[in-house]
Amino acid sequence: MANLPGIYTAFKKNGSLYYRASITFHTKHISLGSFDTEELASCTYKEARLILDHPEITLSEYSLFSCLSHNKFVSLINFRDNGIYFKTPIYLRKKYFEYYLSATETLKFDRDDLFFYASKKIQKKGGYLFVTDYGNQYSILSRYGIRPFSVYGRDYRMVNGDVLDFRYSNIEIINRYAGVQKKESASGQTQYQTKIHVNGDIIVGTYPDEISAAIAYNKAADKLASCGICKAYARNYIVSMTSEQYHAAYTSIPVSKKLTMPAP
């Protein structure tokens, strides 16, 4: 054991020495990480102790700390203030919680999602936010029924304009189905246009409701497949219809004659 408080020595498989830091607060033992030097481990412990013993230190003051990771910084402040320790960088508010991607990016979620994100690390690649589960990547947008490759402003939007606010009341899904876009006619009537991409976009048709437009997309994809165009078009699943209702609609809904083209 090292002489400094909260610091323990350990050895890697190759026999090299490293240092582990941990701290106890309100009977809970919290690991602070593993470090190559005793000095860095000790610095991390001292910063953790400072945070837990001084409730006036806030989430905005991370720049004052040089050793503690930002994730651990958030976890410790939340435990100090709310009495619950999360391994992920979550801070509980009265009706929602914040998930800190970094010191400058904060996501907001409803409490209903707390159990999920308490055990899931959110990652960001470009503008894509995702979690990894059983080796697979899942967009966090999929939890809201937002399709892959959906475009912000066209297929969905945040009501208050904050693209990092994922509370359910703040998310408006504009286009629920693949290939379907909501349109407004010259007379102000809402219509739904269906497009499918081959070499360019083909307009499948315009329909009075989004379910008809979604079924038209499925029909267009099937017609293209029958013509030898082998693309992995996603099919729209209509949960509100029985198989008989779906088949009747599928048969009756018209699609563009351009879809009978031969394969290039």
Lowest-confidence range among 2-6, 24-28, 32-36, 224-228? 2-6
Task: Return the closest-CA partner of residue 158 out of 137, 138, 144, 177.
Answer: 144
CA distance 67 to 190: 56
Q: Which residues make Cβ contacts (< 8 Å) with residue 133, sequence separation at least 6? A: 120
The pTM of this model reads: 0.80
pLDDT value of residue 182: 87
User: Which amino acid is it at 228?
Assistant: G
pLDDT value, residue 264: 45
Domain boundaries, the chain: 1-66, 86-174, 180-260
pLDDT at 32 (0 to 100) = 96
Nearest to 80 by CA among 99, 57, 103: 57
Identify any residues that bridge with 96 across adjacent strands, giving them in sequence order. 110
In the DSSP assignment, the letter for residue 169 is: G
Model pLDDT, residue 127: 84
